[in-house]
Structure 1
Amino acid sequence: MPFEGFDDKRLIDAKAPRRDFLKYLGFSTAAATLAASCKIPVRKAIPYANKPENLIPGVAKYYATTYVQDGDVIPVVAKVRDGRPIKIEGNELCSFTGGGTSARSQASVLDLYDMFRLKFPQQKAKDGSFQEVPTFEQFDKLVGDAIAGLNGTSVVLLTETIVSPTSKQIISEFLAKYPGSKHVQYDAVSYSGMLLANEASGFGRKLPSYKFDAAKVIVSLGADFLGTWLSPVEFARAYSKGRKIDEKNPQMSKHYQFESFLSMTGSCADERFTHRPSETASVALALLAALDGTVTAPAIADAKLKQGIAKVAADLKANSGATLVVSRSNDMNVQVIVNAINNAIGANGKTIDWSVPVNYRQGIDKDMEDLIAQMEGGQVGALLIHNANPAYSYYNADKFKSALKKVRLSVSFSSKMDE
């Protein structure tokens, strides 16, 4: 400020012309007026008139729950503050995950705050637009009346894999009211070939438990068991146990990976061999032939791949009973070969436990194909869809959408307007 006569000794004695004083006074007044004219949003703090029992504002509570989506089942702990879930973490008391979680389970808490979630049911009008149904009671009556007017045609419930025994019981009781109705389970990522191969091999239509921590030699035929295959959270924890060196017993599991593209699991392998996607069955059969002399080995043109198969077979033989072979293929024939390999190396009952099956995936591809054929033929009167979106994820989505138009009543229980 240009005060006249100001020096560094005495600020109190500095002299300012009247013009400068009025200038700065006017500026200060204008600035204060401008600041006062900017309205700041009012944020009201509303206290609890009737505070819930055992709740202290700002102090978080933790609840054990389970993340279930598309067949994935992960025990988690939800951090809740003032009645609102804000964070998901793994449950450290879980015996098979040990507190691990996946990216999907971590992000699942955001679904609770999705602004695009439907607040009320929607009904499709004749012009193709969707109109809001005011209450759920009215919606229930609309659906009930529509089902009652089907004149005996079947009701089909199309869902993701259901792992809850209680939910299956409710579904059975519901479908029992409508003769000829059925429940179809559909998995966007199908393991149908594996289920059917296990049934053909005499183990039943089920998936076994895999003990990666008990295997000294692990061979994966394209299965990304640390990233996406079946239960990666569970498998990663078990796999890590065999990869840690104990000073008293300095040994580590050996991991071989055969695949046609780089995966997270492949990047962690000790030795990785690449091949064309069309050669998956040949690699599996060549490995079985190296273990069982009664099987004829197919021709393998790649010399490096052929040497890798021979090396892996020798390692599997040397560690019989402590080995494991898994495959990503959804081809039933390939999975039958893999079952034969595991039988030859003594994995059943050791690193593969058929007595404790898992229910992560139960969908059969043929069931979905038969359903679409029935929809096209007008044999399905009502299709109720829960936690499945085949109009987006099915390999022939256009065929499904075309068949859906021939169903008299279709109800989607999706929380938002998807396909």
Structure 2
Amino acid sequence: MSKKQYWQGLEELNQTPAFKAKAANEFQEDLPFGDVDQLAKAPTSRRDFLKYLGFSTAAATLAASCEMPVRKAIPYAIKPENVTPGVPLMYASTYVDGGEAVPVLVRTREGRPIKIEGNADSKLTEGATTARIQGSVLNLYDAARAKFPTIDGKEVSWEAIDNAVAQALTAVGSQPLYLVTSTMNSESTLSAVAQFVQKYPNTKHVQYDAISYSGILDANQNSFGQRAIPAYRFDNAKVIVSIGADFVGTWISPEIFAKQYGKTRKISAKNPVMGKHYQVEGMMSLTGGSADERYTCKPSQYGAVAAALLAEINGVSASGLNAGMSAAVKKMAADLKAHQGAALVVCGSNDAATQIVVNAINNALGAYGSTITFATTNQTKKGNDHEMAQFAEALKGGQVGGVMFFDCNPVYDHPMGEALGIALGGLKLSLALNDRMDETASKCKITAPVNHWLESWGDASSHTGYTSLMQPSIVPLFKTRGLDESLLKWAGNPVSQYEYVKNYWIGKLGSQTAFDEAIQKGILEPETMPVAAASFSGNVAVALSQIAAAKSSAEGAPELIIYEKVGIGRGAAWSNNPWLQEMPDPITKCTWDNYVIMSPNRAKKMGAELTDLNEVDRDKKVFSIKTNGKEVKLPVLVVPGVHDDVIAVALGYGRSKTVGKAAADLGVNVYPLMAQDATGNLSFYAAAVDLKNTGETYQLAITQTHHSYQNDRPIIHEYSLNEFKKDPNQLYNKRKDALGHYISPDGVVHHGGHGEPGHDAHGAKDAHAAKDAHGD
């Protein structure tokens, strides 16, 4: 077993006096028992107990007033007539948000959803969920949701909304009308959109994703003639190289990839073989923390790394990288070539040229048809940055008659958001079909709020050939309506959401019985995922020339990575979810705010190094970041594993008060710092950054070294693969020996006491003495 020592945080490693003092004290801060006035006046009042007691009370009040679920919903495992008070029912449904679509089971009590589980019957997700899926239950009861439709900010009836929309559509006439949505992968909803477009042929449907994958889509159009993301099979890969793709945490479909990846990493006595994983990235990620070998580089160098890797695989010496990275590329290339047909390279860049080179690498390795397939494509990310840029320019230029938004918020999360918000005021029709009065809905004349997914009928297909059905587990809490119902009403086909979805799928499946069975099971999937090779025809020479011409920062100058957090994601409703705000980030262990991630070396260079003061205490130095003509100020969090010339900031913060109490005035919005390339593709890094220490401080809530006083055992046990092969049970035996001190031969468990193993709380040395000590 390895004798390496691990630490929970840099403060524990450095063992400063302040850390030692806090580690020795179980309760590290005085608790303000009963001091309500002090809590109310605290500078961090958004995190105080009373506010979120209020949030929880509002949620509980809503839940208590809920009606039983609609009669037509079908429980997953228990028939409705067998409902027993206090006994939960499970309903198969589908979690949907911004293009994400995951089959789930919803646990309900007396008609109130209380917990989400993954649908283990799905061969695609195998029962996996994410933090946001779990947190979506709280979003249902969020009092900040839009409670009724409005015109000019005033509550109106749905009849008034339908009349106003009809009049506005008439006024728009033949002028361009835009329907801007997040990725849509629902067959029935896309059919409803088609009916609306047929009624109003001047409509242009633009799919927009704030977390863009448009570069991959463009590269695949160039390489394979398909503007689609293939299905990745990490479980078939023996060697994985990831260049800036956090596929376990946030990249494309992490709930699926994490399951697949886990299969390549799990070893046993019968199969002591583990897949090899290399990670190249600028900042520490959840995926990078799991890699066998990890290398850091600036994000502007991702394309150069991919180009060098392709050259090495093709037997050509690579250039343009430093000695350390060149050696790493040679090693990765050799390992990939040694596992032809069982290798996979992925990249998190949104640059089309870089992705074309990655496609060429996978083609040279024989990945298509084994670890990648276009026979099934991922439908969760279909946003088109070019079309969104064209819409933005047309809107600013006064060439748009009307716009309807659904499940997207470009006024907040697009680089041109401020200009878009101003331009919306001059339209004949501006309508938001969002779940709350977010930054975009607040700029629209009409709001027609939609149901939460737990209140909805529908369907979704995260991959072609894989459909999951959605049924409500509760009646709508507010005066909201389904998207399909609204679109069809305005298209002249008034029908309820349920009737429309039911009739659509009866037409596909052939009968009411087949529809009922599909709703009850929740999924329509093939037995196995189809796999097929693909014909690569990408223009690699042009892509390589574009990579070579790309600008990089000077040596020692910082570059900015703008990234997505596991919990908050792109923002949306998640910004107002206290569960997710309170959830420590898996890498930084920080809650609530966003901040500037920086390496220890750069922090020391810029006067933000960890000291006895700010290493343990919450006060962090505040830095100014200027790039692309915008400036933000954020506190610095020093994190190991970050490239010395890289800083990173998370998206999803800096929300307006209308989004909700938990989101308001929390952190800073960094979407405006993003740039667009010549085609409109969004860039999630900036190479020209002005970074300065302001001398100010800000308090962050961090859980990194909580419970450090319990340091009587190692954080992890580490073994080499060779050690495991020799004795797969050594860790089990070690645990068994340790527990032997606490379990007597007759099976009685007793606690250690007085610093000696084998004692119960009163110091008895065996089970019988323990009984005597307790008076038995």
Show the counterpart of 1:339. Answer: 359
1:410 aligns with 2:430: yes
Show the counterpart of 2:155. Answer: 132
Shift of 1:94: 1.2
TM-score by length of 2: 0.46
1:290 aligns with 2:312: yes
Between the aligned partners of 1:323 and 1:203, the Cα distance in structure 2 is 23
Q: Which amino acid aligns with 1:98?
A: E
Show the counterpart of 1:217. Answer: 239
Between the aligned partners of 2:300 and 2:370, the Cα distance in structure 1 is 31
Deviations 1:9-63 (A, max 9, x none): xxxxxxxxxxxxxxxxxxxxxxxxxxxxxxxxxx9x99x9xxx862322221100
- Contact map agreement 2:396 2:419 (CA 8 A) in 1: no
SS of 2:373's partner is: strand
Q: Which amino acid aligns with 1:298?
A: S
More divergent stretch after superposition (326-335 vs 371-380): 371-380
Show the counterpart of 1:388. Answer: 408
Match of 2:147 among 106, 115, 119: 119
Show the counterpart of 1:16. Answer: none
Between the aligned partners of 2:270 and 2:146, the Cα distance in structure 1 is 59
- Contact map agreement 1:154 1:178 (CA 8 A) in 2: no
Task: After TM superposition, list the pairs within 5 Å mapping 1:18-167 onto structure 2.
Answer: 54=81, 55-124=83-152, 130-133=153-156, 135-167=157-189
Q: Which amino acid aligns with 2:281?
A: E
Shift of 1:358: 1.2
Match of 1:373 among 370, 390, 393: 393
Shift of 1:413: 1.1
Shift of 1:101: 0.5
Task: After TM superposition, list the pairs within 5 Å mapping 1:239-388 onto structure 2.
Answer: 239-293=261-315, 297-301=318-322, 303-388=323-408
- Contact map agreement 1:375 1:406 (CA 8 A) in 2: no
Show the counterpart of 1:177. Answer: 199
Deviations 1:252-294 (A, max 9, x none): 100000101110000000000111111111101000000114x
Q: Which amino acid aligns with 2:333?
A: A
More divergent stretch after superposition (171-180 vs 259-268): 171-180
- Contact map agreement 1:287 1:309 (CA 8 A) in 2: yes
Match of 1:208 among 223, 230, 238: 230
Q: 1:249 and 1:120, CA in 2 relative to 1: closer, same or farther beyond 3 A?
A: closer
More divergent stretch after superposition (341-350 vs 110-119): 110-119
Q: Which amino acid aligns with 2:237?
A: A
More divergent stretch after superposition (310-319 vs 395-404): 395-404
Show the counterpart of 1:18. Answer: none
SS of 2:412's partner is: helix
- Contact map agreement 1:63 1:79 (CA 8 A) in 2: yes
Shift of 1:248: 2.3
Between the aligned partners of 1:403 and 1:146, the Cα distance in structure 2 is 17
Deviations 1:227-257 (A, max 9, x none): 0000001000010111111322321100000
Match of 2:208 among 186, 200, 204: 186
SS of 2:240's partner is: strand
- Contact map agreement 1:66 1:75 (CA 8 A) in 2: yes
Deviations 1:102-161 (A, max 9, x none): 01110111122111222211111xxxxx2111x111111111111112232122111000
Show the counterpart of 2:452. Answer: none
SS of 1:380's partner is: coil
- Contact map agreement 1:223 1:326 (CA 8 A) in 2: yes
Between the aligned partners of 1:199 and 1:379, the Cα distance in structure 2 is 29
Q: Which amino acid aligns with 1:62?
A: M
Deviations 1:382-407 (A, max 9, x none): 10101000111112211222332332
- Contact map agreement 1:387 1:414 (CA 8 A) in 2: yes
SS of 2:404's partner is: strand
Between the aligned partners of 2:357 and 2:419, the Cα distance in structure 1 is 33
- Contact map agreement 2:318 2:326 (CA 8 A) in 1: no
Between the aligned partners of 2:267 and 2:363, the Cα distance in structure 1 is 29
Shift of 1:203: 4.3
- Contact map agreement 2:92 2:104 (CA 8 A) in 1: yes
Identity of counterpart residues, as a percentage? 46
Shift of 1:165: 1.1
SS of 1:170's partner is: helix
Q: Which amino acid aligns with 2:247?
A: F
Between the aligned partners of 1:334 and 1:178, the Cα distance in structure 2 is 39
Q: Which amino acid aligns with 1:176?
A: Q
TM-score by length of 1: 0.84
In structure 1, the gaps of 5 or more residues are 1-42, 125-129
Between the aligned partners of 1:203 and 1:346, the Cα distance in structure 2 is 18
- Contact map agreement 1:376 1:406 (CA 8 A) in 2: no
1:230 aligns with 2:258: no
Q: Which amino acid aligns with 1:103?
A: A
Deviations 1:348-369 (A, max 9, x none): 1110011111101111111001
SS of 1:166's partner is: helix
Shift of 1:371: 0.5
Shift of 1:408: 2.0
Between the aligned partners of 2:165 and 2:200, the Cα distance in structure 1 is 14
Deviations 1:163-209 (A, max 9, x none): 11111111011011112211000001000000010010024111111
Between the aligned partners of 2:180 and 2:101, the Cα distance in structure 1 is 19
Moved over 4 A (4+): none
In structure 2, the gaps of 5 or more residues are 1-60, 72-79, 440-776
Between the aligned partners of 1:241 and 1:392, the Cα distance in structure 2 is 39
Shift of 1:89: 1.1
Alignment length (residue pairs):
364
Q: Which amino acid aligns with 2:311?
A: A
Q: Which amino acid aligns with 1:154?
A: P
Shift of 1:296: 6.8
Between the aligned partners of 2:246 and 2:225, the Cα distance in structure 1 is 23
- Contact map agreement 2:171 2:428 (CA 8 A) in 1: no
